[in-house]
Amino acid sequence: MAQLLLFSALLGSLVIGFALLALSQDRNWRLLNVGPSPSSSAKVILRMVGYGLLALAMPFAVWRDSFGFGALMWRTMSSVAACAITLTLSWRPHWLTSLAYMICSVRLGAIDTTSYRSVSMLNGADERRINATERD
């Protein structure tokens, strides 16, 4: 049972880590239609958390199967997780929409789902444009 939990933690942290790295890119974020692209500081945070999750997966693999096979399994499962996220973004990008909403809600406190915009995540030019249209 412990082996299964460690394997699930390994695979889960790799998949979520690669998903965060993918969503930190404008092109992939726009595929989900959840609002404007994150600001540059939000992208840096997404990337740091994504790389952190990838690094966190290594101790799970080593703890599960010792260093010799754990390092090999971590590398192999990293490739599997990266391919899974790539295929998800290619064929079913809407599967990652809930993750994008969680990113917005954790990072910003809340998002306005009626207009798909979050004031904290907008860069300055978008805020000025939206405020100008709201005044009209």
Q: What is the DSSP letter of 39?
A: P
Residue range 2-22: mean pLDDT, rounded = 93
Q: What is the dihedral of CA 33, 109, 23, 86, to 10 degrees?
A: -80
The torsion angles phi and psi of 36, rounded to 5 degrees, stand at -70, 160
Q: How many Cβ atoms sit within 10 Å of the Cβ of residue 54?
A: 20
Token pair 């609002």 is found at 35
Q: Average of pLDDT values for 118-134?
A: 49
Average pLDDT of the chain, as a whole number: 81
User: What band does 131 get if pLDDT is binned at 50, 70 and 90?
Assistant: low
DSSP string, 19-38: HHHHHTSHHHHHHHTSSSPP
User: Contact at 8 Å (CB) between 24 and 38?
Assistant: yes
Q: Whole-angstrom Cα distance, residue 2 to residue 122?
A: 43
Q: What is the pTM of this model?
A: 0.74
Q: What is the pLDDT of residues 49-106, one digit of tens each?
A: 999 999 999 999 999 989 999 999 999 999 999 999 999 999 999 898 888 888 877 7
φ, ψ (nearest 5 deg) of residue 112? -90, 100
Number of folded domains in the chain? Answer: 1
Is the pLDDT assigned to residue 11 strictly greater than 90?
Answer: yes
pLDDT of residue 134: 52
**Domain range enclosing 64:** 2-135
The tokens 């703890």 sit on which residue? 63
